[in-house]
Chains A and B, each alone.
Chain A
């Protein structure tokens, strides 16, 4: 899966980002370079405040790079768009729209001219079925659980058929059991659709279980990529089998070592 092709699919080329507030400039990210292949699942892990969400927003185009460039299929990214759909940490479903209408909004926007009304309906339902939420299509976001909201958020992003799926700590606000369920669903979806995924996380197990590669960030300010770990685990991966798999444990250990030995989060101590 990590075979390097001649043309990089998604490339972060010496990306840097600094914010200026009240005349004081603070550098959040410095010289981040990374290439991601088509169909690859990459996790970005680091302590809070290391700028991993900023990195995701740069790829999404929601914030602009200060230096360097983000290239998707060799074209520079500098504004948000449905080809880089985001699943937000707090689901960000529109509370006044039904589950169906939330997904349909994206479908209409992306495929409004390409698909007929019936096709768009089918495509919306197809994506809701993919995340097992078709049964709740007429409910409002306030009427479903946190895990379900996040499923709908994923359906909304998938329905835009993005080139890159961006997940910003998608399961961070969920309880452990729900999180495991959603991780399994995400693995299935990734296996069947072959999406290119960048996921921000602070959960070591989640990163190792789901990713082809794990990008570890150093602490901010001026955060950089500290290390990139390739997870050489065969797919499909089964949660229970992984728990005792030597490669899994080794990968887990090296991420933990990076986070807690070499780049200990000082403020958290």
Chain B
């Protein structure tokens, strides 16, 4: 979505830019081609102006206010200048490695991402299959939907004790928590997508006598893809929320445990840097799944 927006905006800018010299060309014919060369950078500049400058200004203002509020004796939270002074190694070099627990936040994020990748990947496969079943079969929906509606309201961490009891190890338990958190929106959105397959496509499949496997691949998945990707996007956001909480309790080298560890040794600046990492990675994950979705479903919008 972000990509599409970017593109359409850029082309709109280009159109606006090219319209100007054309009007001028009526008077000064030779000036037109030279101007269009310098105009090539104007859309880029304007895009930066529209999309990059405002958040940077907001960020600067926020940091300034924060600095003013916390830069006094007795302040409970560290000011940005203190954070920069005390946690600079964490900010500038995400991938240093100085022994078992003294590693850069980049490594920790990668460990967490690996857990999310496994848990979310399993949830995506199982969620799409379950969602297809519920969307396709009236009886499966009647039987499973009420149970799913109850289970999906259980908070992710409430599953952790059960997972620990069942797996007797923290690593699979954390992955299970990711899985169980991410799967519900995937199931529900897939089911809605399947239920919304136009009757026309079902008729086409019936006339062609597609078997259920062919129907799944050629009609069901592409037709429901926009819904499925909505579910995946919500799911990946939830898994990132859950991994931090799960790692706080299970330990290891993840970013979640780092926060817990930093809290126990009163390193508040480190925690704040970690929060920034988590936010940026979560944002990137969301955009990644969103971009993947718009890439895959480009042709799926009905016409």
Across the interface, do B201 and A94 meet the contact criterion of CB distance under 8 Å?
Answer: yes
- Which B196-240 residues have C-beta < 8 A from chain A? 200-201, 203-204, 206-210, 214, 218-219, 222-223, 225
A105 on the interface (CB 8 Å rule)?
yes
Closest to B225 in A: A96
The answer to whether B207 touches A86 (Cβ under 8 A) is yes
- Number of chain A residues whose Cβ lies closer than 8 Å to a Cβ of chain B: 25
Q: Does A221 count as interface, using CB distance less than 8 angstroms? A: no
A61 to B203 CA separation, bound complex (whole angstroms): 10
Does residue B29 face the partner (Cβ distance < 8 Å to A)?
no
Contact A80:B207 (CB < 8 A) given known A96-B299, A96-B300, A141-B303: yes
**Contact assessment for A80 and B300 in the assembled complex, using a CB-CB cutoff below 8 Å:** no
Interface status of B92 (Cβ within 8 A of chain A): no
Q: A140–B303 Cα gap in the complex (Å)?
A: 10
Instruction: Provide the bound-state CA to CA distance between A94 and B301, in Å.
Output: 10
Q: How far is the CA of A105 from the CA of B219 in the complex (A)?
A: 11
With known contacts A86-B203, A142-B299, A94–B208 Cβ distance under 8 A: no
Give chain B interface residues in 265-303, CB to chain A under 8 Å: 297, 299-303
A109 to B213, CA, bound (A): 13
Interface residues on chain B, size class: 20 to 34
A97 / chain B contacts, CB cutoff of 8 Å: 218, 299
A149 to chain B: closest residue by CB: B303
Contact with B along A127-170 (1 / 0, CB 8 A): 00000000000001110000000000000000010000000000
A80: chain B residues at CB < 8 Å are 203, 206-207, 209
The interface centre, meaning the residue of A88, A94, A105 with most chain B CB atoms within 10 A of its CB, is A94
Residues of A within 8 A of B223 (CB): 96
Residues from chain A with a CB closer than 8 A to the CB of B210 are 109
Contact yes or no, A92 B200, CB < 8 A:
yes
Contact assessment for B204 and A94 in the assembled complex, using a CB-CB cutoff below 8 Å: yes
Tell me, in angstroms, the Cα distance from A142 to B219 when the chains sit together. 17
Contacts of B207 in A (CB 8 A): 60, 62, 80-82, 84-86
Residues of A within 8 A of B218 (CB): 94, 97, 105
A50 vs chain B, min Cβ distance (A): 21
A96 lies within 8 A of B203 (CB): no
Q: Which of B161-204 contact A (CB under 8 A)?
A: 200-201, 203-204
Residues of B contacting A90 in the complex (Cβ-Cβ under 8 angstroms): 200
CB distance from B6 to the nearest CB of A (A): 21
Q: Is the CB of B209 within 8 A of A94?
A: no
21 contacts between A and B (CB under 8 A): A61-B206, A62-B203, A62-B207, A79-B206, A81-B209, A90-B200, A92-B201, A92-B204, A94-B218, A94-B222, A95-B299, A95-B300, A95-B301, A96-B223, A96-B300, A105-B208, A105-B218, A106-B208, A109-B210, A110-B208, A142-B301
* Nearest 9 pairs of A and B residues by beta carbon: A142-B303, A92-B200, A80-B206, A96-B222, A96-B299, A96-B300, A109-B208, A80-B207, A140-B299
Query: Which chain A residues have a beta carbon within 8 Å of chain B's beta carbons?
Result: 60-62, 79-82, 84-86, 88, 90, 92, 94-97, 105-106, 109-110, 140-142, 160
Extra pairs beyond A82-B207, A82-B209, A94-B201 (17, CB < 8 Å): A60-B207, A61-B206, A62-B203, A62-B206, A86-B207, A90-B200, A94-B222, A95-B301, A95-B303, A96-B222, A97-B299, A105-B208, A109-B208, A109-B210, A109-B214, A140-B299, A160-B208
